[in-house]
Amino acid sequence: MGIRKKLTEKWQEALQAVLPIICIVLALCFSIAPISPSILLCFLIGAVLILAGMMFFTLGAEISMTPMGERVGSALTKSRNLVLIVVTAFLLGFIITISEPDLQVLAGQVPAVPGMILILSVAGGVGIFLVFALLRMLFAIPLPPLLVVFYAVVFILSAFIPRDFLSIAFDSGGVTTGPMTVPFIMALGVGVSTIRSDRHAADDSFGLVALCSIGPILAVMILGMIFHPQDDGFTEAVILEVDNSIQLWNLFSSGIPTYMKEIFLSLFPVFLFFMAFQLFALRLPAKKLRKILVGLAYTYVGLVLFLTGANVGFMPAGNYLGQILAGRNHPEILIPIAIVIGYFIVKAEPAVYVLNKQVEEITDGAISAKAMGTGLSVGVSLSLGLAMVRVLTGISILWFLVPGYGIALLISFFVPRIYTAIAFDSGGVASGPMTAAFLLPLAQGACASLGGNLITDAFGVVAMVAMTPLITIQVMGLASRLAKLRKGHSAEARTPALAFEMLDDDAIIEL
């Protein structure tokens, strides 16, 4: 397929993902939530940049980040050197997390903790848990018991950290699994699984993102025991107004160099890491290497355009919309509006495309990208509605997270292994730059208008978005298992052999 045809295909996919959000925001702006012309124009320009960015990013991830991760994972596993695998996994998790643009944004908003200390701590947490994730795959350890143990530790620790730090800690688990981390780490899992020959190898290729999301939460909680944030350490977002086209141009043109530098610093360590593997282990042919390098260039351009559009165009619009909607006579209208926005906005997350495509490929279409998209949309819409309930009432985030994760972990023991791994991966994937650049400002604007506590009430949106897909995707798995059982029982009287075939692998072993 020619490059022009591929770009056209990616543009159409991006348009389908982002157009509903543009329509929803425009409908609100011209009806119940009027905003200034300058903010509306910034939003529209940001939307165009996001569309172009998604087009280039998805193409770049497909031809560079995914093959890189798969080849590194295969090379590591083939080495059979446990020390090398552990050291390399830690370094890889550490380097990619420092490269994650969303983490830089979060670090700038956390009061009382120096940004670099937060970034290094979170990167260390991801590195350690990537080691756990790879060892789990190599030794075929089931995922649900590990998740129960680690989340039990998380919720026990939550009783010992300041209340102001809870939402930030859980948010950190979502922002660190963004557009840089997800394509590489998920492909790494596929690469490792190709070396295993057992029947659960494909199932275990998922779950790396799930475990890597826990490390940052624990790291930030430990920081919360050392540093004590104060409310006055938070700086509210500034909404910029522009008076003419020159100021509008300057607003975007000043942002682009910033993100060019940021994304270069993000991608360069990954590039060096891969080139070191190429030199000492992979030794790919020149043609394949050139293709990967071209893909990295597409990834770079895509991320620069996407983050510029999201942060310069979408962030002010989200904040201002939140203020206008919460300032109405009935601020409860925020809840249904957030539910509708949540349903569509997850489709615009760059890493969601990578996850859905990989799920469809690994399962040979048994779990389609469309079904994954629907499950994620339902989950995120519920989470946004609950997040706005928190903004309006000030209820502690633990009242939502403890029962939510409890239900998700309980279901994990009754669904096929692959659904659990995909579900917990999807939680980290769904909470990406669109959540940080539009939904979090929406909650912050609403919270500021209502006079709430920005740190305890507005933060936590990312954590809520990361939680609900764990339930919705596993419910899909539960429905799939029940359908198989019903089909097996209905055919049992006529063809016993068919009933036997409908049992999953674990049931066959027990039999």
Q: Cα separation of 64 and 298, whole Å? A: 9
For residue 4, which amino acid is it? R
DSSP letters, 272-324, are HHHHHHIIIII---HHHHHHHHHHHHHHHHHHHHHHHIIIIIIHHHHHHHHHH
Q: Cα separation of 317 and 442, whole Å? A: 8
Q: Cα separation of 58 and 179, whole Å? A: 10
Q: Cα separation of 117 and 97, whole Å? A: 13
Whether 494 has a pLDDT exceeding 60, the answer reads: no
Contact 122, 97 (CB under 8 A): yes
Residue 485 lies in a domain: yes
CB-based contacts of 87: which residues, under 8 Å, 6+ apart?
none
CB-based contacts of 36: which residues, under 8 Å, 6+ apart?
241, 320
The label of the residue with tokens 């899909």 reads 476
Q: Cα separation of 465 and 432, whole Å? A: 9
Contact 46, 314 (CB under 8 A): yes
* Spatial CA neighbour of 440 closest among 307, 313, 309, 322: 322
When mean pLDDT is compared over 171-180, 220-229, 252-261, the highest value belongs to 252-261
Band (pLDDT 50/70/90 cuts) for residue 500 is very low
The predicted model gives 323-335 an average pLDDT of 90
Band (pLDDT 50/70/90 cuts) for residue 104 is low
**Token code pair at residue 78:** 């083939």
Residue 334 lies in a domain: yes
> Which of residues 377 and 361 earns the better pLDDT score?
377
How many other C-beta atoms can be found within 10 angstroms of the C-beta atom of residue 501? Answer: 12
Residue 317 lies in a domain: yes
The label of the residue with tokens 């141009």 reads 249
Residue 214 lies in a domain: yes
Band (pLDDT 50/70/90 cuts) for residue 511 is very low
Contact 461, 443 (CB under 8 A): yes
Q: Cα separation of 179 and 88, whole Å? A: 21
Among 5-19, 113-127, 239-253, 303-317, the least confident range: 239-253
Q: Cα separation of 257 and 496, whole Å? A: 67
Whether 44 has a pLDDT exceeding 90, the answer reads: yes
Whether 35 has a pLDDT exceeding 80, the answer reads: yes
Band (pLDDT 50/70/90 cuts) for residue 47 is very high
DSSP letters, 397-427, are THHHHHHHHHHHHHHTTTS-HHHHHHHHHHH
**Token code pair at residue 166:** 């809870």
Q: Cα separation of 241 and 287, whole Å? A: 49
Q: Cα separation of 328 and 311, whole Å? A: 26
Opening angle at CA 111, ends 155 and 181, nearest 5: 65
Contact 452, 394 (CB under 8 A): yes
Whether 38 has a pLDDT exceeding 60, the answer reads: yes
* Cα four-point dihedral sign 331, 332, 334, 340: negative
When mean pLDDT is compared over 286-290, 325-329, 404-408, the highest value belongs to 404-408
Residue 298 lies in a domain: yes
Whether 373 has a pLDDT exceeding 60, the answer reads: yes
Residue 472 lies in a domain: yes
Q: Give pLDDT tens digits for 224-254.
A: 888 765 544 444 555 566 778 888 888 888 8
The predicted model gives 122-130 an average pLDDT of 91
* Spatial CA neighbour of 325 closest among 279, 418, 391, 406: 391
* Spatial CA neighbour of 385 closest among 442, 330, 429, 342: 342
Q: Cα separation of 47 and 53, whole Å? A: 10
> Which of residues 181 and 346 earns the better pLDDT score?
346
Q: What is the pLDDT of residue 444?
A: 87
CB-based contacts of 479: which residues, under 8 Å, 6+ apart?
none
Whether 310 has a pLDDT exceeding 90, the answer reads: no
Contact 434, 216 (CB under 8 A): no
When mean pLDDT is compared over 70-74, 131-135, 148-152, 289-293, the highest value belongs to 148-152
Q: Cα separation of 408 and 145, whole Å? A: 12
For residue 237, which amino acid is it? A
Whether 405 has a pLDDT exceeding 90, the answer reads: yes
Question: Which range marks the domain in which residue 322 is found?
Answer: 3-29+36-230+240-510
Band (pLDDT 50/70/90 cuts) for residue 155 is very high
Residue 404 lies in a domain: yes
Among 319-323, 358-362, 402-406, the least confident range: 358-362
The predicted model gives 175-198 an average pLDDT of 74
Opening angle at CA 33, ends 29 and 34, nearest 5: 60
> Which of residues 96 and 473 earns the better pLDDT score?
473
Residue 235 lies in a domain: no
Among 190-194, 318-322, 364-368, 383-387, the least confident range: 190-194
Model's pTM, two decimal places? 0.79
The predicted model gives 291-299 an average pLDDT of 90
Provide the domain count of the chain.
1
